[in-house]
């Protein structure tokens, strides 16, 4: 995998999310997202699926789309100043600044800003399903510097659709190191939505549960 492979991966992810935002309805966008991600994971040289398992890769597992878990929420910016430095291994130390919070019916999520070159919104999530039906380390809902952007009102609202929660790359192989959700991104309930726990290598099974 080369830097140009990673560049192409990010371009394709950004293009996929543009299609999602332009879809006729969120459920249709979710179908596009599933198909697009499965293709990338199976075929792209920057896929986090180890190369020796890509030929047998049949797709990831997802929960069915639940419209009750899609929210358009204002970002409350009256939060105390906070910064965290995250060691990612491949990208070194990555700084994040807390810039706000979204209050959802299922719990609150902190909104972080990638406080380095390029910038971007980062909203990870850990919920009560992590370690059971979902990856134990948590999932990402938004990561705009890498193209994972569901849109929203430019004035301050974010589309926070938990059906698009996905596993970080470190869920598939130990060669990746990823930022994991801090305490302010932990939900008290189980979120049966989005990408589910990765199967062991060679046992991936496409479809929705």
pLDDT in tens, 97-139: 999 999 999 999 999 999 887 789 999 999 999 989 988 999 9
Q: How far apart are CA 201 and CA 139, in angstroms?
A: 19
Highest mean pLDDT among 2-16, 164-178, 193-207: 2-16
Answer whether residue 206 shows pLDDT above 50.
Answer: no
CA dihedral for 164, 168, 169, 172, sign (positive or negative)? negative
Answer whether residue 182 shows pLDDT above 90.
Answer: yes
- Percent of the chain at pLDDT exceeding 70: 92
Q: How far apart are CA 150 and CA 160, in angstroms?
A: 7
| Whole-number pLDDT of residue 209 | 52
Report the greatest alpha carbon distance in the chain: 49
**Which of 30-34, 151-155, 165-169 is predicted with the least confidence, judged by mean pLDDT?**
151-155
| Whole-number pLDDT of residue 131 | 87
| Whole-number pLDDT of residue 199 | 66
Phi, psi (deg, nearest 5) at residue 143: -155, 80
Q: Model pTM greater than 0.85?
A: yes
CA angle 196, 198, 200 (to 5 degrees): 150
Which residue, among 149, 142, 185, has the nearest Cα to 165 in the 3D structure? 142
CA distances from 146 to 50, 51, 129, 208 (A): 20, 22, 25, 25
| Whole-number pLDDT of residue 119 | 87
Q: How many residues does the chain have?
A: 209
| Whole-number pLDDT of residue 204 | 45
pLDDT in tens, 26-83: 999 999 999 999 999 999 999 988 888 888 888 899 999 999 999 999 999 999 999 9
Write down the number of H helices and E strands in the chain: 3, 9
| Whole-number pLDDT of residue 50 | 86
Q: How far apart are CA 122 and CA 161, in angstroms?
A: 14
């Amino acid at each position: 995998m080369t830097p140009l492979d990673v560049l192409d991966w990010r371009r394709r992810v950004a293009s996929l999310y543009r299609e999602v935002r332009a879809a006729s309805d969120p459920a249709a966008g979710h179908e596009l997202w599933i198909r697009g991600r499965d293709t990338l994971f199976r075929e792209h040289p920057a896929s986090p699926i180890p190369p020796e398992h890509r030929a047998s890769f049949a797709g990831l597992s997802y929960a069915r789309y639940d419209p009750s878990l899609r929210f358009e929420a204002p970002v409350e910016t009256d939060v105390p100043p906070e910064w965290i430095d995250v060691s990612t291994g491949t990208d070194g130390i990555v700084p994040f600044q807390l810039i706000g919070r979204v209050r959802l019916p299922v719990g609150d999520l902190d909104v972080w800003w990638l406080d380095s070159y390029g910038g971007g919104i980062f909203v990870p999530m850990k919920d009560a399903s992590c370690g059971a039906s979902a990856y134990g380390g948590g999932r990402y809902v938004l990561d705009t510097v890498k193209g994972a952007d569901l849109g929203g009102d430019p004035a301050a609202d974010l589309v926070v659709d938990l059906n698009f929660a996905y596993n970080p790359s470190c869920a598939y192989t130990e060669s990746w190191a990823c930022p994991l959700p801090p305490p302010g991104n932990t939900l008290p309930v189980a979120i049966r939505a989005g990408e589910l726990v990765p199967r062991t290598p060679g046992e991936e099974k496409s479809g929705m549960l």
